[in-house]
Amino acid sequence: MSTIGGSWASRPHALSRAIAGRLNTPRPALVENGVDGTPCIVNRQQVAFVREEWRVVDRWWTEEPIDRRYYEVVLESGENVCVYRDRERGCWFTQRA
């Protein structure tokens, strides 16, 4: 595999960043939430408990503002998942923390 500036082999850090960027890309998620907005089911798996919750509001002065409510949850399977609701778009995503 080569790039405009040479092969990936000659630029291992660039390859690592490229792969990590793709792995961390938000992915649409199926989420059922309670009346308070907290996720109860994520991608058809029951949420055992919410470990952490936070909100990110940024770029409000641009045409592409960010307004997200994040939850780090543990599913009944034991899997840790970071899920967020994009309040601008009105949909849910999973993303690696």
Question: What are the sequence ranges of the domains in the chain?
Answer: 27-94
Q: pLDDT tens digits, the chain, 97 residues: what are they?
A: 444 555 545 566 655 555 555 667 899 999 999 999 999 999 999 999 999 999 999 998 999 899 999 999 999 999 999 999 999 889 999 987 5
Q: What is the pLDDT of residue 45?
A: 96
Residue 88: predicted pLDDT:
86
82 CB-near residues (< 8 Å, 6+ apart): 70, 71, 72, 73, 94, 95, 96, 97
The answer to whether the CB of 96 falls within 8 A of the CB of 23 is yes
Q: Note if the pTM is more than 0.85.
A: no
Q: CA geometry: angle at 52 spanning 48 and 53, to 5°?
A: 110
